[in-house]
Amino acid sequence: MLKLAVLLALVAFAAALPAAVIHTVDPRIDLNGDWRVVGGSNAPGGAYPFIVSLRSSAGGHFCGGSILNSVNILTAAHCIIGRSTANTNILAGTNTLNSGGVVRGSSRLIIHAAYNPSTIANDIAVVRLSSGVPIGGNIAQVGLNTANTGAVAAILIGWGRTATNSGIPNNLQHLATNTITHANCQSSWGNSVSTMQICAFIGSGRGACNGDSGGPLVQNSNRAQLGVVSFGRAGGCAIGWPDVYARVSSYIAWINSAVAS
């Protein structure tokens, strides 16, 4: 779904980084993907009315996001850094990229001031829309998890690639997965992950991939958003390593501030 083996930074952004910065990155982190869901299935219509597709001005999907309110979208910093508002739109209210829903432009891109493109720390951002989406029916606000959640059943949602080097699916995908404890995530990622992040893993062949970045990981029991798709292991999607997400509960104050700004 999102970026698996390596940190999930967009290809265009990675190409713009100075070589000196690239060399400081943990080599396990994928800086050249935008991740997608691998091993998932088509989501039922209306099951996740809070998800949006981030799209270029030409209509191409590049990341996911979730609806905070009618004019603010939560996503990953690496999805929008270096982009302009003119080239950042959203599609809401549909499970299919080629039909239905409503499109809105953006008026402001708010990136966490401490976002680090080398380590992908603080990989969180808000897109301010130029006009609001109509809340109701297939468009709804996401609930945010505020607890320091450990290992729980979760769902990954997105339009990311369904296999390494595959195309972006037209139909929204979802995957039942599990978050894991910080200690278990560190056993794979070491100090590349902090307590400001949360990891999910369900086994090889199932997880995030290119195109999933910025999208939501939600708790199965209440659909509250636990994480924002951030990065995965370099070398391919869903190759047996935990996917890494910005932990929503760690950024509640920042999110509230961004929405109010």
194-226 pLDDT tens trace: 999 999 988 766 667 777 899 999 999 999 999
User: For residue 46, is it within any domain?
Assistant: no
**Could you tell me if 195 and 134 lie in one domain?**
no
Q: What is the pLDDT of residue 20?
A: 29
Which residue's entry shows tokens 């493109």? Answer: 117
Clarify whether residues 230 and 243 are in a common domain. yes
Q: Is residue 39 part of a domain?
A: no
Nearest CA to 75 out of 219, 253, 260, 251 is that of 251
* pLDDT (mean) for 170-177: 89
**Which residues have a Cβ under 8 Å from the Cβ of 112 and sit 6 or more positions away?**
77, 122, 123, 124, 125, 251, 254
Place of tokens 């929008």: 80
Measured distance CA(144)–CA(148) in Å, rounded? 12
CATH number at residue 84: 2.40.10.10
Q: Using 50, 70 and 90 to split pLDDT, how confident is the model at 21?
A: very low
pLDDT attached to residue 160: 75
- Examine the residue annotation and report whether 187 is marked as an active-site residue of this protein: no
135 and 171 in a single domain? The answer is no
Residues 248, 253, 258, 260, CA torsion sign: positive
Could you tell me if 131 and 57 lie in one domain? yes
Band of pLDDT at residue 65, cut at 50, 70 and 90: very high
**What is each CA distance from 110 to 65, 165, 202, 239, in whole angstroms?**
13, 30, 32, 32
- Is 18 a domain residue? no
Q: Check residue 210 and give its pLDDT.
A: 73
**Residue 6 pLDDT exceeds 80:** no
Asked if 93 and 147 sit in the same domain, the reply is no
Indicate whether 33 belongs to any domain. Answer: no
pLDDT-derived band at 1, boundaries 50, 70, 90: very low
Please provide the average confidence, as pLDDT, over all residues in the chain: 83
The answer, yes or no, to whether residue 79 has pLDDT greater than 70, is yes
Query: Domain tally for the chain?
Result: 2
Among residues 26, 123, 212, 243, the one annotated as catalytic is: 123
Tell me what pLDDT residue 248 has: 98
**pLDDT-based confidence at residue 31 (cuts at 50, 70, 90):** very low
Choosing from 66, 192, 213, 230, the catalytic residue is 213
For residues 128 and 148, membership in a common domain is answered with no
* Domain assignment of residue 25, yes or no: no
What is the chain's alpha carbon radius of gyration, rounded to the nearest angstrom? 16
More confident residue, 229 or 36: 229
**Which of the following is catalytic: 26, 30, 61, 78?**
78
Q: Which residues span the domain enclosing 116?
A: 51-140+253-260
Question: Are residues 190 and 123 part of one domain?
Answer: no
The pLDDT tens digits of the residues spanning 134-172 come to 999 999 999 999 999 999 999 999 987 665 566 677 889
Instruction: Establish whether 213 is a catalytic residue.
Output: yes
Q: Which pLDDT band, with edges at 50, 70 and 90, does 3 fall under?
A: very low
